[in-house]
């Protein structure tokens, strides 16, 4: 439930962040001029749109980072549960299937004799 909610918020914030960044007017005009950057200057004043877009970018970036960290934490909770279960099974003596066993060195074979059996010494 919480993962789904975080996913939805994360996707919307990501899309809104892309939109806000693209609408900002850079030194060369950028995409803000293509989408009516001059009209926003008339509505919000000369610097008003820049401040609003800058603040919206900062807020969206903060929310994006929080949802990213939250999603990473929630997705790793399954790993923590699995690790705790493995440790508990090893304490009980059940979890030895995947452990390494130290290999023993094979005994050297007997030295071959010069005469083959059944050769008879001809």
pTM of the model: 0.52
Residue pointed to by tokens 């903060």 = 62
Size of the chain, expressed as the number of residues it contains: 122
Model pLDDT for residues 93-122, shown as the tens digit of each residue: 765 555 565 666 777 777 666 666 665 555
Domain holding 54, by residue range, is: 2-92
If one counts the domains in the chain, the total is 1
In a domain, 111, yes or no: no
Given a contact cutoff of 8 angstroms between Cβ atoms, the answer to whether 52 and 44 are in contact is yes
Residue 118 lies in a domain: no
| Residues 63/9, Cβ–Cβ less than 8 Å | yes
Contacts of 30 (CB under 8 A, 6+ apart): 22, 24, 37
Has residue 114 been placed in a domain?
no
Instruction: Establish if 103 belongs to a structural domain.
Output: no
Tell me if 13 sits within 8 A of 63, measured CB to CB.
Answer: yes
pLDDT in tens, 25-84: 776 555 555 666 555 555 555 555 568 888 999 999 999 999 999 999 888 877 777 888
d(CA 23, CA 32): 4
Which residues lie closer than 8 Å to 35 by C-beta, 6 or more apart?
A: 22, 23
Q: Is residue 100 one of the residues assigned to a domain?
A: no
């Amino acid at each position: 439930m919480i993962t789904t909610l975080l996913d939805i918020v994360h996707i919307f914030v990501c899309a809104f962040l892309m939109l806000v960044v693209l609408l900002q007017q850079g030194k060369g005009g950028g995409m803000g001029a293509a989408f009516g950057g001059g009209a926003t200057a008339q509505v919000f004043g000369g610097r008003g749109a820049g401040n609003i877009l800058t603040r919206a970018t900062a807020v969206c970036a903060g929310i994006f980072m929080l949802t990213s960290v939250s999603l990473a934490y929630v997705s790793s909770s399954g790993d923590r549960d699995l690790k705790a279960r493995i440790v508990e099974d090893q304490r009980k003596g059940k979890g030895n299937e995947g452990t390494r066993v130290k290999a023993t060195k094979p005994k050297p074979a007997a030295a071959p004799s010069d005469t083959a059996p059944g050769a008879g010494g001809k």
